[in-house]
Structure 1
């Protein structure tokens, strides 16, 4: 793949999402799109330094390009965690400056860092000094009662001087009090134009956009204004959207996707995971929405949601669920 953040290279990414974008999810998404940039769940710097690293940071080689998102506000700790991440083989280190959860705020990182752009810049500079791979930042357009115009400019000014290779912007404010993390993803209004203005201010820097993007057609429209598009819940709940991502990035017409081959690959992957002591549900929970909107999707979901979590469940459950989709679709086509 072309080096990340080369001049003129457009990127489509799957956002870092807590409890969702684990290694099994990323492996699944990689089978749908070979070119999309994948992100880990956020890993707190202290956990990367002191935790069980293989469990927290391990990934399959097929996931490349894959980025490690870190949470923290201590430049020295973030530098050490970034160094560890590079050692594991990640293609990028990303700093979380957007998560609004109480747990993140209590650690003085995430979206509350929008209030201290100088500290964010110190963290970026420390990480840049520790690794040779790209260091990026994912932020909001502001928090609480900040005016998004000066707030986002202030953060961008600081982190670009510090050397960040890209700025990914969730085009919503974060409200640190009064809204839950889920509400923070839905209630604050989207302001894509604010991100476009930032790109106009920094025409030679990589600016990516995130927030509420539901379709590849919407992604294509955004790419006329910015350098990258990050899909979140749409990629997770309707993962088949990723089957057309590579064609979008190459400006080609998407070919019919081979879902049967995908199921074979995921069944083999699930078998390996089970053989290593895991459970089928660890893998299939990320696949429930695969056939969303298609004939047979309901029966497919029912099988995965019930049978995949039974003791001793094996990959035959996944194959059975897919067979139900095929049978229903074939009967409706007859």
Structure 2
């Protein structure tokens, strides 16, 4: 686990800059191995963990869920929960582990999350979310942020969202990411909730105009770096990208530093894959299986010659006993030869 005493941590202003582009927290996807690959493609982009539930940390003692590599900074921990005291205790665990930011999930629509009285259902109780923000801010020195929807079920977003933002702002939250879709808690699956409710980017722009003192990022349906640039140019403070960054990581992240942040150079897929090899070796020595790492790298060559071969060989062979970094390196060489 990263030791916060041995690393330089980002200040709030640094995080606001990093949040110009962020990668969404995605269950079963944005684990620390995925984040390492993403970090090798972009030094600047803000990365998020999968959602970790506060009860798992506070009641279950599952502190291993907080493990990450120091190279991942800037990196934020997303928490799920609805009990202010418990979230504050979980936030303290996260801050002590070295995370740069603690984020509250007010956007996930899954049944499992609803049954725990957190996620998107919290859009119905802005006062409770404000209490959670207040307790967490009192417990930690790092920034506490919120990720939310524009509303749920029969709520009218233009009525509920300003109230929600005002409540959390008054509690001290100064940075929020808005998924520009409603969540339908009854009748739609989590997958359908990512696609079926219509996007309302205009409403998010309206919220930025109304809450000019808040750093507002937009999420939902963004699938290119060019689209991110357009949204930033229209006045939003940040853009969060989800599935596109996972499935086409190079398309989103390889040019993010020079294009979005004005630093560094474009990183190629080949460079990032080769840079992963020492990390892969270390992970295998610590008991990991190769496919636990390479499953997050299958989209490295999406849209390029050799992409199918890259996906097929890693999918078929990375789970075999004894599979190691030499499989990744030899497959990479095959892809390079094909492209020559």
- Mark yes or no: TM-score above 0.5: yes
> Which residue does the alignment assign to 1:263?
273
- Corresponding residue for 1:209? 218
Cα distance 1:256–1:27, how it changes in 2: closer, same or farther (>3 A)? closer
Residue 139 of structure 1 aligns to a residue whose secondary structure is: strand
Q: Is the Cα contact below 8 Å between 1:5 and 1:165 reproduced in 2? A: no
Distance 1:2 1:106 in 2: 35
Corresponding residue number in structure 1 for 2:257 = 246
Note if 1:283 corresponds to 2:284.
no
1:111 matched residue in structure 2 = 120
Aligned equivalent of 1:144:
153
The one of 284, 293, 310 equivalent to 2:303 is 293
Matched, 1:74 2:83: yes
Aligned position for 1:58 = 67
CA contact (8 A) 1:5 1:206 kept: no
CA distance in 1, matches of 2:249, 2:270: 15
Distance 1:298 1:8, change over 3 A: closer
RMSD (Å) for aligned C-alpha atoms: 1.6
Tell me the residue number matched to 1:222: 231
Correspondence for 1:183? 192
Contact 1:5 1:166 in 2 (8 A): no
In 1: Cα distance, 2:89 partner to 2:241 partner: 29
Tell me, in whole angstroms, the C-alpha distance in 1 between the residues paired with 2:266 and 2:134.
45
Shift >4 Å, 4+ stretches: 5-8
**Paired position in structure 2 for 1:173:** 182
- Do structure 1's residue 305 and structure 2's residue 312 form an aligned pair? no
Q: 1:262 Cα shift?
A: 2.0
Residue matched to 1:3: 11
Provide closer, same or farther for how the CA distance between residues 237 and 8 of structure 1 changes in structure 2, counting only shifts above 3 A. Answer: closer
Q: TM-score, normalised by structure 1?
A: 0.95
Q: Deviations over 1:303-329 (max 9, x none)?
A: 111111112211111112211210110
Map of 1:322 onto structure 2? 332
Aligned equivalent of 1:27, options 29, 36, 39? 36
- The size of the alignment, in residue pairs, is 329
Q: Which runs of 5+ in 1 are unaligned?
A: none
Cα pair distance change 1:8/1:292, threshold 3 Å: closer
Deviations 1:210-233 (A, max 9, x none): 001000110001112210100100
What residue ranges of structure 2 are gaps of 5+ in the alignment?
1-8
Contact 1:114/1:142 (<8 A) preserved: yes
